[in-house]
């Protein structure tokens, strides 16, 4: 009985220690989430407006100088930029991004995968580690971006993707990431990066009429790379905020589960202790009765 009580006490201490860690991680993630949330909420309207403007320009322009990043080609070689986190303990966040990437490959690029024409650039270690272990063409160049998340570091990845597309190393580039909605909700998304998607025209829409100064070719050549840099940076910021939101939610749930486990263990401990006391009393009474007899 004494051994059973000691085992329950040890389990209670273990759960209490784990709960302290989960509570601390929740507080750290909450602090990081505030900063990450402010960054993406300030960035998103600007990035979305730039993307809409670029899509409109591409839709209403003839193919020519400065339009190489908008050229549609038969899709033979595919690049997926998959944005995950560096660390775990954030619920199903990384699993859902990877699952979406796998389903995208299976549904849209199965033929290219059979030919070995799928390349994965992992931003964040978890995605890179998964796809490298599963024998995909990967590069570790951009997996550590979250160690120093700056526009300049993300820009290196976007510029490399643009250069590779322009040189026809890839025919399509897509970003798989998580859009931040709130701390408890992430929207897992596949977004076309290259070629630049054209805006969808609806019935009754009029053709946009732009006045270009300087020339259209010069303006497009300058605008395209800058807007695409911003687009990838927005996706990375979205994913960063989503990660902290997912981790904060997961640690909060873990703390609640620890509370429930502690309650159950304390009840078990009290019952075992009461049983031990009852047994001892019974032995004392029996011994006293035997002496009297």
Q: What's the rounded Cα separation, in Å, for the pair 103 and 31?
A: 33
> First and final CA of the chain: distance in angstroms?
29
Long-range contact set of residues 43-52: C-beta below 8 Å, sequence gap at least 24: 43/230, 43/233, 43/234, 43/237, 44/234, 44/238, 46/230, 47/230, 47/231, 47/233, 47/234, 48/234, 50/227, 50/230, 50/231, 51/227, 51/231, 52/199
> In sequence order, which ranges of the chain are alpha helices (DSSP H)?
2-59, 93-108, 110-114, 125-133, 151-166, 216-292
Q: What's the rounded Cα separation, in Å, for the pair 217 and 37?
A: 36
**128 catalytic, yes or no?**
no
Strand order from edge to edge, sheet including 78-83:
137-139, 118-123, 78-83, 172-182, 185-194
> Pick the catalytic residue: 36, 80, 90, 123?
90
Length of the chain: 293
Query: What are the tokens at 89?
Result: 């303990």
Catalogue the active-site residues.
90
């Amino acid at each position: 009985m004494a051994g059973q009580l000691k085992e329950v006490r040890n389990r209670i201490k273990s759960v209490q220690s784990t709960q302290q860690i989960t509570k601390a991680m929740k507080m750290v993630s909450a602090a990081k989430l505030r900063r990450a949330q402010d960054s993406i909420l300030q960035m998103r309207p600007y990035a979305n407006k730039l993307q809409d403007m670029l899509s409109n320009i591409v839709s209403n322009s003839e193919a020519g100088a400065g339009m190489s990043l908008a050229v549609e080609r038969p899709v033979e070689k595919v690049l997926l930029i998959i944005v995950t986190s560096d660390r775990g303990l954030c619920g199903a966040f990384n699993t859902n991004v990877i699952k979406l990437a796998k389903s995208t490959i299976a549904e849209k690029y199965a033929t290219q995968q059979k030919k070995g024409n799928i390349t994965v650039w992992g931003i964040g270690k978890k995605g890179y580690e998964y796809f490298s272990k599963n024998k995909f063409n990967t590069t570790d160049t951009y997996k550590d971006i979250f160690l120093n998340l700056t526009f300049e570091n993300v820009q290196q990845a976007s510029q490399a993707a643009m250069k590779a597309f322009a040189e026809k190393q890839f025919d399509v580039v897509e970003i798989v990431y998580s859009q931040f909605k709130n701390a408890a909700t992430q929207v897992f998304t596949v977004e076309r990066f290259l070629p630049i998607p054209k805006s969808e025209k609806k019935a009754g829409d009029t053709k946009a009429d732009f006045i270009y100064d300087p020339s259209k070719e010069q303006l497009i050549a300058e605008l395209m790379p800058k807007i695409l840099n911003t687009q990838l940076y927005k996706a990375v910021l979205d994913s960063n905020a989503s990660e902290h939101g997912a981790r904060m939610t997961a640690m909060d749930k873990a703390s609640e589960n620890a509370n429930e486990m502690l309650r159950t263990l304390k009840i078990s401990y009290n019952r075992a202790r009461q049983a031990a006391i009852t047994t001892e009393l019974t032995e004392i009474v029996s011994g006293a009765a035997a002496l009297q007899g």
